[in-house]
Amino acid sequence: MAGITMSKPHSGNPYYFVPSITEPPQGLRFEAQPIVSLRAGDVVGYELLYRGEQPSEWSLVDAALVRYLQAARSHPLLFVNLSNGGLLKASVDELVLASERNGVIFELSESVAEYALRADIAEKVNTLIGRGVKVAIDDFGAGRDSLERLYELGPTTAVKIDRLFLQTCARRADAARTLQHLVQQWREAGVLSIAEGVENTDLYEFARIVGCDMVQGWHVDALVSQRQRG
């Protein structure tokens, strides 16, 4: 059951089933949400979004997924969320192996509740980056330490812009100018920008105007599904 299946959820996106460690034997279910290049219009990768029951601990889901990704598989580029607890519990060697075998980009959550863990997380992430692991900052703009966290880490691969922050910037010209400046600054540093939660044509166009490299969200799901149907 490991690997991608031909079944599709309501969005039209494919599912992955990952063998679990302590959960039911049918495996943990993830939806693969497409991430699309705004310049070329092509799908460049997928974010794995957990679609199963609420786990007793998120780190158990993380551990199952990291274990699954340590074996080489014929997957497209995958963006994989790790909870702060999951990141700290996984060994550096396990994460490096998953990255090397499958070209994974690990997304770091931005949790205000776990702000006290920031120094430990930064130390581990910088070790991973030094070992060649690709890292993305998730939900940029959602937490109190977005810029602080970004600049205390080594060179990240991408910054993913939070849905609500994107919507705020789309409503306010001053915020839009700030976001456009940040996106340009990231591009000059070789960091990709990905707009999350793009739910309609207006947000898709706004992301393009401010210079984002990639987009994902319900509207993007629909565009990809429509294109696949021909």
Express each pLDDT in 98-119 by its tens digit.
999 998 999 987 654 466 677 8
CATH label of the domain that carries residue 203: 3.20.20.450
Please give the DSSP secondary-structure letter assigned to residue 54: P
Q: Has residue 122 got a pLDDT over 50?
A: yes
- Write out the residue range of the structural domain in which residue 15 sits: 3-229
Read off the tokens for 110.
Answer: 């931005």
Q: Where are the alpha helices (DSSP H) in the chain?
A: 58-69, 84-89, 92-102, 118-130, 146-152, 163-171, 173-188, 201-209, 218-229
Domain count, the chain: 1
Cα 145 to Cα 34, 90, 184, distances in angstroms: 27, 24, 20
pTM more than 0.95: no
Alpha-carbon distance 118 to 157, whole Å? 19
52-100 tens-digit pLDDT: 888 888 888 999 999 999 988 878 899 999 988 899 999 999 999 999 9
Distances (CA, A) of 197 to 4, 60, 91, 132: 24, 26, 31, 28
Lookup: tokens for 97: 């192996």
Query: Quick check: 6 pLDDT over 80?
Result: no
